[in-house]
A and B are shown apart, each in its own frame.
Chain A
Amino acid sequence: MISPNRNTTTRKDGHEDEAVIIERIKQKARERRLRAAQALASRMQRLPDGSLVFLRFSRGQRIQHQILIVSFTTLAITGLLQRYSQLYLVGLIINGVFGGIETLRTIHHLFALVFILEAVYHTWEIIMSWLVKRDSMAMLPTIQDLDDLVQMIKFNLNKTDRRPLFDRFSVEGKMEYWALLWGGVVMIITGIIQWFPTLITKILPGYAIPVSRAIHSWEAVLATLAILTWHLYHTVIKERNQSIFTGYMTEKELQESHPLEYRRIQGAHAYLQKIAEEGREEVFEHIQGDGQHEVAQVG
């Protein structure tokens, strides 16, 4: 970070010159830009057969989703059976398959614990990634998402020829994510209230328990229906998207469903290429310490 600028001397009062400060900020911005470009570019990898794949989900995210599949499904089944326990057939299933309501509740509590721990971990991860690592906040909803949603409906109604171009996360995916996040928070809070009624009434009025019961029960129906319609259609039925299991999308898949993300990664590559050609090695080498070697290989 040795600047060729002559204004490296400090002033008499011990403060640095404004020009030095401005230069340092610019330098920081360049570094951040480079870091972002490298992070983006590293998502693209060339397979031995020459085709390109694009990283969608990290290993940690994939594991989280697999755990979520198991815990959510179990919770939904064991929970909805309780909601509809008065039906004759449901009673047979609870008593016959699960060996009674007490066992069913134990299973529900066990997987609730898994769900809660995962939620806590995910919250921690978000805080770390957004506030500490300063990663992209691509999942945050924007006005553009609302526009995309309207455009998509218009396009599907043949009112316009322009299909909205999705970025890293489509509006459909974002809706799913935020619905899950909101629903998860609601379910955890209302679930814990029911789980420890005597403890909770030390803080909250007793009325909170039947209200929680109602919310928990309804929200379960909503969440299950949302997964069965919205999520399954957009991931499994529409495009047989396997990236949550493999971690990767093919070039064609990404181009089709997330064209802006595809273009963004390409742009990052172009940028890295450009600075490499311009010979701004000093910057490049400085960043290289972080182990971002794939950039050069892929580019």
Chain B
Amino acid sequence: MAYQFLNHFLVAAFLFGISWSSEEGNKPRAGYQLDTARNILLIGTKPVYAQGTEPNRDCLMCHSNPDFKGSLQNGNLVSLYVPNGEYQQSVHGQAGLECVACHISISSYPHHQHQQINCLECHDQHGGTPNSFTTLRVQLLYADQRAMTLAINEACRTCHSKEFEIAGDSAHVKVLNSGNTSAPVCVDCHGSHGITHPDQPRSRISNTCAQCHQSVYSSYEASVHGAALESESNPDVPTCVNCHGVHSVRGPRDPFFRNDSIAICGSCHSDKALMSKYGISTAVFVSYLNDFHGRTVDLFRRQEAGIASNKAVCFDCHGIHNIRKPDDPLSSVYPDNLRHTCQQCHKDANIRFPQAWLSHYLPTWRDTPVLYGVNLFYRVLIPLIVGGFIFYIGLDVRKRWSDNRRVVLQALAEEKLDEYDFT
């Protein structure tokens, strides 16, 4: 009894120490600390044969059993099997992280006092080597599997605090905080034991999002961007995160997102080097910003209040996930479809209305002679007229400056005007 009490006390003290030290930012090698601490304080609970061998071996003693399951509070079973090969291949496994680096609440064996495991479930006899795997069941404290995931997910913060903080403002976490536990957390996108680089290959990113956003993915898949990504692993087309952000995923109905979206599209479509690879004009962004819609949205964007502009942004005309080439008959900006696209806002637009839009080209003498002519006309006329004005005024000033004012008035007064007929 006294031993048990002491053991409890030491576990509590140790847990406090771990949580304290992790808050201090002493993060990456938490496993070693734990190991040392366990060696000193909890020596009695440590299986002797594990010392000096690979650090995760203790854990894998049980967790490499494919039939190892835990019973949740709601009665469901959850597999506690960890495929070791998968972990060894993961970024964490290759970095040599120990299980306890993430499973920070695990400090003793068995992990909780109530998880009494009969020794003979594994060992044939006292002191003997473990049996081949047998059916193992433990009682878990978690209400359900999601609660377990969410609890363990908190451990990511220990090392990836920056990403964790950024994700805290994301649309996903907002949904989570509103009570919907289905909202994705780190491990839902990144995986748990088998974490590898999320963008290798790039198409993995959009496939990850597709796990939940299936309908969005299917329209993206058919778009000019998605098709290039899926079929040719194009390194330049945007995946989901290039537009929506990685951890900062903002809701697309966020006013800032709408106003900023023009810059998202513009960041690639005004890049000369990038666009020249595909023969796409970079005038698209400039011509948009010069026009009525672009000017307005750009001004809203520069406003701090975060009010979404109701003027068209790129995706209002080109489509959101289903963007297609303008010469694709299915594109919303294909000449035959333009009128319908304009009518989304300009309800009574007729067939001539879309002609008002000059297809993102800057005016040229060949394509838009009138507009080009107007610009040229005023570029010549304004300097001529205003220059003429200034010339005339300059002469007048000079004359007035040099002449004796009274002489001028005298000359005027002496003019012979008596014969003048007033009619």
Contacts and interface: CB of A to CB of B under 8 A. Distances in A.
Chains A and B belong together in one complex:
yes
B398 A211 contact: no
A82 B408 CA distance: 46
B303 interface: yes
B408 to A, nearest CB: 7
Interface string A187-230: 00000001001110110111111110111001101100110011
Interface in B201-215: none
Interface string B321-360: 0000000000000000000000000111110111111100
A209 B356 contact: yes
A25 B404 CA distance: 51
B292 A213 contact: yes
A210 B292 CA distance: 10
A95 B356 CA distance: 28
B353 A230 contact: no
Contacts, number: 153
A263 to B, nearest CB: 4
Given A86-B298, A156-B398, A265-B422, A197 B356 contact: yes
Contacts of B411: 161, 163
B356 A225 contact: no
B266 to A, nearest CB: 13
B23 interface: no
B382 A222 contact: yes
A155 B421 CA distance: 26
Interface in B377-417: 378, 381-382, 385-386, 389-390, 392-393, 395-396, 398-400, 408-409, 411-413, 415, 417
A222 B355 CA distance: 28
Interface residue range, chain B:
35 or more
Contacts of A207: 355-356, 368, 370-371
B302 interface: yes
- Say whether chain A's binding surface is mostly helix, strand, loop, or mixed: helix
A208 B371 CA distance: 9
A199 to B, nearest CB: 8
B246 interface: no
- Say whether chain B's binding surface is mostly helix, strand, loop, or mixed: helix
B374 interface: yes
Contacts of A210: 291, 356-358, 363, 368, 371
B292 A198 contact: no
A94 to B, nearest CB: 6
B353 A201 contact: yes
A283 interface: no
A37 interface: yes
B289 interface: yes
Given A201-B349, A230-B389, A230-B393, A260 B420 contact: yes
B371 A100 contact: no
A268 B422 contact: yes
Interface residues of A, number: 60
A241 interface: no
Contacts of B375: 214, 218
A157 B395 contact: yes
Contacts of A256: 409, 412
A173 interface: no
A271 B291 CA distance: 63
B423 interface: yes
B65 interface: no
A33 to B, nearest CB: 6
Given A101-B299, A230-B393, A255-B413, A211 B371 contact: yes
A107 to B, nearest CB: 14
A165 interface: yes
A229 B396 CA distance: 13
B389 A165 contact: no
Nearest to A95: B303
Closest 8 CB pairs of A and B: A206-B355, A218-B378, A267-B422, A206-B356, A156-B395, A209-B356, A156-B399, A263-B417
6 contacts: A95-B304, A101-B296, A197-B356, A214-B363, A229-B390, A255-B409
Given A85-B295, A259-B415, 17 more contacts: A86-B290, A92-B302, A95-B299, A198-B349, A201-B349, A201-B350, A201-B353, A206-B355, A207-B370, A209-B356, A210-B357, A218-B378, A229-B393, A230-B389, A230-B393, A238-B396, A260-B417
Interface of A: 33, 36-37, 40, 82, 85-86, 91-92, 94-95, 100-102, 152-153, 155-158, 161, 163, 165, 194, 197-199, 201-202, 204-211, 213-215, 218-219, 221-222, 225-226, 229-230, 233, 238, 255-256, 259-260, 263-265, 267-268, 271
